[in-house]
Structure 1
Amino acid sequence: MGGEALQRLEGDGARRAARDLVAGLGLGASVAVGARPRVVADMVATVDGRAAVQGRSVALGHPADRALLRELRTAADAILVGSGTLAAERYANLLDDEQRARRVADGRPPHPLVVTLSRELTLPLALDVPLFDEPGVPIVVFTYAGEDVAAPVLGAELEVVRLPAEVPLLASALVALGARGVRSVLCEGGPTLLARLVLEGGLDDLLLTVSPLLAAGDAPTILDGAPFAEPARLALRDVHRADDHVFLHYGLAR
């Protein structure tokens, strides 16, 4: 079962394109959850739980996994990603021309907001993150840094939102995005950011691709940080496969 089709492992067992699977999530019709947007995380891990091989997640993927990620980006209003992940994965060219055209045809900007957090406004250089030098890409950085810390000069459209140190950075960023009309956010990690999202009650859906690899070692899992006082409970929504990769859709049990 090669290519980008995903076979549903329940019900009719139908094969679906990544675009159709994402359309079923209804991100374009999402409404705010309280004062924040709906947040969907997309992660990949080996069977033994490692979220990276040799420091990057790209080795874990499958054509269907990559297609799913790009369709999620096309559907979402904003992409939330940690600055460390931006650098480690060397983000660039998040959408192709056809995906941008679809967004415009739907009455939306050609590119979703790219949102990251940086307490001290220390961002990787554009040389390390090609996305930072792509004209027309809107990037928003939420930070505690004051006006005395100058924003870096990038080729992309950079906006810096400075927040007071006494407010929680991640939760405040999500509320601020909701106030801008952002309805859906795709979180692409990394593990530290995702753990904070779960801990602060900011995650609604988790799409997890299980890669048919055993990696061992000390690479991070999809969540990194101190253990939760109580594990977050998930509810299984859907299961698909493509070759030996398994695609799991969980909702957070409320």
Structure 2
Amino acid sequence: MLKDIKHIILILSGKGGVGKSTVSTQLSLALKENGFKVGLLDIDLCGPSVPYLLQLEGKDVHQVEEGWVPVYSDEEQNLAVMSIGFLLNNRNSSVVWRGPKKTAMVKQFLTDVCWGNLDYLIIDTPPGTSDEHITVMENLKTVKCDGAIIVTTPQQVSIEDVRKEITFCRKTGIPIIGLIENMSGFVCPHCSDCTNIFSKGGGESLAEITKIPLLGTLPIDPKIGHLLGKSCVKEFPDSPMSKEFSNIMRRLQMNK
């Protein structure tokens, strides 16, 4: 089901809570707003937040002879979404599975979803280097995967965990497209000044040390936190975060 997809991009991080799902959803929305047909696959089985972030909770996944039909976020069907969140009764339901069952579900997501012709498939992964990641790698061997975007925050503890993710990518042969530093400063909702509430430059120094391109630095912006189901690039085109996402998209186009 992945053969008709032009570009496949993994969103990875060695640490939870760095904003991977927010980056995945806003990048998918930004690509859609720029005229691309996009798919977003959420394989974080224990913490599927993509349906909430896109305001798609309660939507049903339908099965046809060819497999699962994803949920579409728009009438034009330019953004297709698949998540285990659509298969649970409610957002409070938990997935209590051992590795083999999780592996089987991820494999099914990668092989049985009817994505159709897509320009981009963004795969939002759980933190770490677990069974889900290895299953993704094994199932992407037969298709062209552009590589991984790795998300970190400026703090040293996050940087250390992300180093492990970089090592994982290099050991498993996943190309690394670049690094995004999220939560890079706080944008004041009143004066729009950006204050570094965490340490600064961790992502930039890690990019230099590991020889990985720094794709962008995304600040914390309270407006974006409440922007569920909508693209920051469309709603707040002049905001620092929107400008960064626009730059990231340009760099992705240059990376082809």
TM range (shorter): 0.3 to 0.5
- Which of the two has greater helix per residue? 2
